[in-house]
Amino acid sequence: MNKNVKYLIIFLFACEVGLCIYEYVTENNIFMPITAITDRTRFRSTGLWAHPLHNAAIVSVTMLLVIMSDIKLLKKIALMIIGIIVLFTFNGRASIISTSICALLIALQNPKQLFGIMRKHPILVGVAIIMSIVLFGYLSSTDLGGKMFNAETRNMDDRSASARFELYAYVLNMNIEDWLLGFKNFDVIFSRNDFDYIECTPISLILSMGALIAIPFMIFQFMDLYHYFDHLCPQYRLIIIFDIVVVGFSSESFTGLASWVMVYAAYTVLFRRNYIKKII
């Protein structure tokens, strides 16, 4: 039974990867109509979770967990390359930037292990570097590169970024009552401003719950994650939390249950294989 649960979770992630690449190649969103995604730059995959940024959040954290895991190097490299491609199908800058920074932080945590891998597997590392260069060249010269390589968007000088800056400015100027108690209806906020969506997890929670509830709630979430991810060293756990915070500031990915469930599921499959057997 524990193997069935493990394979089910792996199957979900495989479906996510396959669906996102299929959607991008065919320019056809399966679970969300393309007209519902407002992006003036290029097509975006929506994957299993029907929103590009929600999918990007899940893939970002999963990629970092794969890097931290003890799976074979060849599989790890293959999964990383696939993960990068999938991230770009969502065209989400924050998740791409955050994943890159966190991957660098992971490498800096283990310089001896990194150089050891380079000495032990020079051909494999060389092939990985060449493939990375080829992939970078492809991303920078094709539509798949999206906002990261588009001259009009890579400097955050676009409507998507400005809408978030307007949201931050609005929140910083709210009165204390709105801060503490929040709003019953977001339409009140939208009627006062130019933006019509709230792409920020902490702000969304504060506006909907009020800071009195939202802040303790977020602290509890991160404390629970820190304690549950006990097979990781403290530094790795903080890197995962950092990634969630950064990605969360650019979307509402972590206001719902799906992203959290998939993050915990990915960790359980990679690090707590015996735990699945215990709970069944």
- H or E stretch at 6: helix 2-26
Tokens for 146, please give them.
């999206």
Query: How far apart, in whole angstroms, are the C-alpha atoms of residue 211 and residue 215?
Result: 5
Q: What is the pLDDT along the chain (280 residues), one digit of tens a residue?
A: 456 666 777 788 888 889 999 998 888 888 776 554 545 557 888 888 878 888 999 999 999 999 998 888 888 888 888 998 899 888 888 899 999 999 999 988 887 777 777 787 788 778 778 877 877 776 666 666 666 666 555 555 556 667 677 777 777 788 888 788 888 776 667 666 666 677 889 988 988 888 999 999 999 999 999 999 999 999 999 999 999 999 998 888 899 888 999 999 999 888 876 544 444 4
How does pLDDT run across 52-70, given as a tens digit for each residue?
A: 888 999 999 999 999 998 8
* Cα 48 from Cα 23, distance rounded (Å): 11
Model pLDDT for residues 79-137, shown as the tens digit of each residue:
888 998 899 888 888 899 999 999 999 988 887 777 777 787 788 778 778 877 877 77
Report pLDDT for 179. Answer: 83
pLDDT of residue 106: 92
Burial of 170 (0-12, 13-18, 19+ CB in 10 A): middle
Alpha-carbon distances of 101 from 49, 104, 141, rounded to whole Å: 25, 5, 23
Q: In which element (H, E) is residue 217 found?
A: helix 211-228
Residue 117, class by beta-carbon neighbours within 10 Å (0-12 exposed, 13-18 middle, 19+ buried)? middle
* DSSP percent split of the chain into helix, strand, coil, nearest 5: 75, 0, 25
